[in-house]
């Protein structure tokens, strides 16, 4: 499994919105500038996130985007599944139940199922707020005497 640029940038964009939620609606240009990501690339990611109702949009002069819920309600797994589709480490696990004709006799299937379970548990255990808290903790402990 390899997370694409789309997934990585979507996570960065969501973190930027979480970090700047006190500012209300945030424009894509501001996010693009802070994250050093092409605005055009972000424009390709926005429709996926909008379809999932995890963002709120506002058009016009003060327009932009903001999170629909608080940062502690979004998991990394949720965001990556929206942008990446399946997080399955092998193709045969992309459907439930497994559609592979060999699945009943496959010696390696339990290995891939275990990996899939660990991936989901790990990514679903991390919220946007967790990442922000870790960053804040790192910045707080980063001082020089």
For 12-56, give the secondary structure using H, E and C. Answer: HHHHHHHHCHHHCCECHHHHHHHHCCCHHHHHHHHHHHHHCCCEE
Q: Which of the 8 DSSP states describes residue 57?
A: E
CATH number where 86 lies: 1.10.10.10
Provide the domain limits for residue 85. Answer: 5-140
Token pair 């790192």 is at which residue? 138
Residue 39 falls inside a structural domain: yes
Residue 27 falls inside a structural domain: yes
Residue 20 falls inside a structural domain: yes
Residue 116 falls inside a structural domain: yes
Cα 42 to chain centroid, rounded: 13
pLDDT of residue 144: 60
Distance CA 133, CA 17 (A): 15
Residue 105 falls inside a structural domain: yes
List per-residue pLDDT tens for the chain, 145 residues long: 789 999 999 999 999 999 999 888 999 999 999 999 999 999 999 999 999 989 999 988 888 999 999 999 999 999 999 999 889 998 888 888 888 888 888 999 999 999 999 999 999 999 999 999 998 777 776 666 6
Residue 145 falls inside a structural domain: no
pLDDT of residue 143: 60
Element (H, E) at 73: none
Structural domain count, the chain: 1
pLDDT of residue 66: 94
pLDDT of residue 1: 72
> 58 with 68: CB under 8 angstroms?
no
Residue 61 falls inside a structural domain: yes
């Amino acid at each position: 499994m390899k997370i694409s640029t789309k997934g990585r940038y979507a996570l960065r964009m969501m973190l930027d919105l979480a970090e700047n939620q006190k500012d209300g609606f945030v424009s894509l240009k501001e996010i693009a500038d802070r994250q050093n990501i092409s605005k055009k690339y972000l424009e390709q990611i926005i429709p996926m996130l909008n379809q999932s109702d995890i963002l709120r949009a506002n058009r016009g002069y003060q327009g932009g985007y903001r999170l629909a819920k608080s940062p502690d309600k979004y998991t990394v797994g949720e965001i990556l599944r929206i942008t990446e589709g399946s997080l399955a480490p092998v193709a045969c696990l992309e459907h439930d139940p497994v559609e592979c004709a060999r699945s009943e006799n496959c010696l390696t299937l339990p290995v891939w199922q275990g990996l899939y379970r660990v991936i989901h548990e790990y990514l679903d255990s991390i919220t946007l707020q967790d990442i922000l808290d870790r960053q804040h903790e790192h910045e707080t402990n980063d001082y020089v005497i």
